[in-house]
Chain A
Amino acid sequence: MNAGVPLSAQLINLFAAVILLLAFAMLAQRRVMPLINLFGLQGLVLAGSTLVVAVTTHQAHLYWSAGLTLLLKAMLLPWILHRLVRKLYVKWDVESLVNVPATMLIGIVLVIVAFNVAQPISLLSHTISRGTLGIALATVMLAFLMMITRTKAIPQVVGFLAMENGLFLAATSATYGMPMVVELGIALDVLVGVIILGVFFFQIRDQFDSLDISHMEHLKDG
C-alpha cells in the first residue's frame, strides 16, 4: 500500500496518469478541433504537474518553466493551431483512422514497453516524481504512434508537439527540469517550428488542394 506517500507525490502521479490518458484520447480523436483542445488540456495538466513539483522542491526555475508551459503549450500554441485550422478551412476534417481499437492495443503494448524500460532508469533517480518517468516515455511513444498513423498535416504537428510534452515531463520527473537556457531554447524552437509549419500548410494546400500528407509520396523531380 502507498500509505505515507506525501500528498504532493500523489498529486504528481495523478497528473501524470491524466497526461497518459489524454495521450490516448488524442490517439483516438478523429476530428481536428477536439484534438487541438485535448493538446491544450495536456499542456495545462503538464503545467499543473510542474507547478506541484516546483512547490514541493522549491526550485525557482521550475516556477518559470511551469509558467512558460502554461503560456506556450496551454494557450499560445492551441490558439495558433486554432487560427490555422480556421484559415485553412479544415475545421470539419474527419480523418479515417486505421481501426481505433487496434491502434489502442498497439498503444497499450507501447505503454508496457515504456514502463518496463523506464523502471530501472527511474530507480537511479532520487526525485520525488521519479515514478512518472515511465509515463513520460509512454507519452513520447504514443505521440510517435500518432504521427505514424495520421495522414493529415495538422494532427501530425499536434503529435510532434505532444511528443515535446512527453519529453518535458521526462525532464521534470528525472532531474527536476533542464537548465533555464535549454528550456527557453526548446520553447522558442517549438514556437518557431509551429509558425514555419503553418506556412508549410498553406504551401502544401496550394500545391495539392488538401492537407493529406500521402500526396507527397508521389512527388517527382523536375
Chain B
Amino acid sequence: MSVGGFLGQLFAIALALVLAPLLTGWVNQCRAWLQNRSAPPLLQPYYMLHKLFRKDVVLARNASPLFRFAPFAVFGCMLLACAIIPSLSTDLPLAPAADTLALVGVFGLARIFISLAAMDVGTAFGSLGGRREMLVGFLAEPALLMVIFTLALISQSTSVATIVETLAHREIVIYPSLAFAGIAFTFVSLAENARVPVDNPATHLELTMIHEAMILEYSGRHLALIEWAASLKLYAYSCLGLALFFPWGIAERDNFLAMIAAAPLLLIKLGIGGCLLAAIETVNAKMRIFRAPEFLGTAFLLAVLGLLVRLLLEVRA
C-alpha cells in the first residue's frame, strides 16, 4: 500500500463526508427552483445536522439496544460504500475489501438494520415503512446486480476499480448494453434513495412515505446520523453511477496530482447530476406503492436486456 494511495483514501472519505450533505442541499435547491418555490439555503443540511447533534436523544421505553445501534451501523455501511467506490481515484487501499457484489451486500446490510430498527419500537408506521423498504429493496437488488453483471462482462472483473479503469480506457465504441444498464441503474438509484417516483423525501403523509416512516422514532444524534447516512447513500449512488457510466477524469494508480485535479471535475459532474435528479423529480409524479414493482420490474428488464444484448451483439462481433 503506497502512502499516496493511503492519503488518497483518506481524502476520498473526508470528501464524501463533507460533500454528501452539500449534494442533498444542492438537489433540494434545484428542485425548489424548478418548482417555483423559494429555495432553502444550500447549506441547510449542515444546519440540520448541527442542530440535531446538539439535541438530546429521546428513546421509546421499549427500545432495544438494536434501535440505538442501528444508526451507527447504517452510517458505517454507507461510509464503507463511499470509501470503496472510486470517486476521485481508482487507487484505493480499501477497494479490495469488497467488489461490486459485496457493495450491493453492504447496501443490503444497511437496509436490514434500518428496517429492523423501524420495527423495533413497535409503532404502526415503523413496521409499515420497514416492510415497504424491504419490498422496494428486494425488487431493486436483482436489477442492480444485473447492471453490475453487464459491466462485469464488459470489463471481465467484478472489482469496482478494475471496471472503472477498463471503461475509462476503452475506445469510443457505442455500447447499446451500457445504455440499457445506465437507464436501469438510474431507475434503481431513484428507488433506493427514496426519490420521487417511488418515495417522496419531503413528505410526511402517512399513506405514501417509506423512508420517513422508518425514522419517525429517531431523534437527536441518532437522527442526525441517519440523515447523514441518507445523504451519503445518495452521494455513493451518484459517484457509482458517474464512475461506471462517465468514468473520464478519474485518476489512475500512483498519481496523486491527477487526483487533486479530479476533485473539481467530480464537483461539476455531481452538480450536473443533481440538476438532472431534481428535473426527474419535478416532471414525474409519485406513483402508487403498488406500481413500484412495475417500475423496478422495468429496471430489471432493461438490465437483463443489456446483458443479453451484450452477449448477442458485442461479444462475438
Contact = CB atoms under 8 A, between A and B. Distances in A.
Interface of A: 1-3, 5, 7, 9-11, 13-14, 16-18, 20-21, 24, 28, 100-101, 104-105, 107-108, 111-112, 115, 119, 131-132, 134-135
Residue from B176, B301, B312 whose CB has the most chain A CB atoms within 10 Å? B312
Given A24-B301, A101-B297, A17 B314 contact: no
Interface residues of B, number: 26
Interface in B166-192: 170-171, 173-174, 176-177, 179-180
Interface stretch (B2-10, B84-92, B302-310): B302-310
Nearest to B314: A2
A17 B313 contact: yes
A13 B313 contact: yes
A110 to B, nearest CB: 11
6 contacts: A2-B314, A5-B317, A14-B176, A17-B179, A108-B301, A134-B312
A165 to B, nearest CB: 18
A14 B174 contact: yes
Residue from A13, A24, A105 whose CB has the most chain B CB atoms within 10 Å? A13
Contacts of B180: 17, 21
A111 B179 CA distance: 18
Contact of A3 (B171, B176, B297, B305): B171
Contacts of A135: 309, 312-313
Contact of B311 (A7, A17, A115, A132): A115
A142 to B, nearest CB: 11
B171 A13 contact: no
A130 to B, nearest CB: 9
Contacts of B305: 17, 20-21, 24, 108, 111
Contacts of B177: 17
B298 interface: yes
B155 to A, nearest CB: 9
A131 B313 contact: yes
